[in-house]
Amino acid sequence: MPANPTPLPSEPIFCARGLSKVYRTGEVEVHALRGVDLDVYRGEFIVLLGASGSGKSTLLNILGGLDVPTAGQVRFADHDLSAASEAELTRYRREHVGFVFQFYNLIPSLTVRENIALVTDIVPDPMPIDEALALVALTPRRDHFPSQLSGGEQQRVAIARAIVKRPEVLLCDEPTGALDYETGKLVLDVVARINRELGTTAIVITHNAAIAGMADRVIRLGDGRILSVERNERKLTPAELAW
Ligand SMILES: Nc1ncnc2c1ncn2[C@@H]1O[C@H](COP(=O)(O)OP(=O)(O)OP(=O)(O)O)[C@@H](O)[C@H]1O
Q: What is the CATH classification number for the domain harbouring 232? A: 3.40.50.300
Res 1: pLDDT: 46
Q: What is the mean pLDDT of residues 114-142?
A: 94
Query: Which pLDDT score, from 0 to 100, does residue 178 have?
Result: 86
Which residue from 48, 52, 221 has its CB within 8 A of the most atoms of ligand 1, so it is best to mutate?
Answer: 52
The pLDDT, as a whole number, for residue 88 is: 96
Q: Is residue 101 part of a domain?
A: yes
Residue 139: inside a domain, yes or no? yes
Q: Judge whether 1 lies within some domain.
A: no
**When comparing pLDDT for 26 and 8, which is higher?**
26
The fraction of the chain above a pLDDT of 90, given in percent, is 78
Assess if residue 3 is contained within a domain. no
Rounded Cα gap, residues 127 and 93, in angstroms: 17
Mean pLDDT computed over every residue of the chain:
92
Instruction: Say what percent of the chain tops pLDDT 70.
Output: 95
* 29 pocket-lining for ligand 1 (C-beta < 6 Å): no
Q: Is 206 in the pocket of ligand 1 (CB under 6 A)?
A: no
Structural domain of 169:
42-68+85-240
What pTM, to 2 d.p., does this model score?
0.92
Is 35's pLDDT higher than 70? yes
Is residue 43 predicted with pLDDT exceeding 70? yes
How many domains does the structure of the chain reveal? 1
ipTM above 0.90?
yes
Mean pLDDT of 235-243: 77
Is residue 157 included in any domain, yes or no?
Answer: yes
Within a domain: 78: no
Tell me whether residue 6 is in a domain.
no
The verdict on the CB of residue 55 being under 6 Å from ligand 1 is: yes
Residue 107 lies inside a defined structural domain of this protein:
yes
Answer with the residue of higher pLDDT: 69 or 5.
69
Task: Band the pLDDT of 132: cuts 50, 70, 90.
Answer: very high
Does ligand 1 come within 6 angstroms of the Cβ of 77? no
Cβ–ligand 1 distance for 118 under 6 Å, the answer no
- Torsion of Cα atoms, 224 then 32 then 102 then 60, to 10°: -70
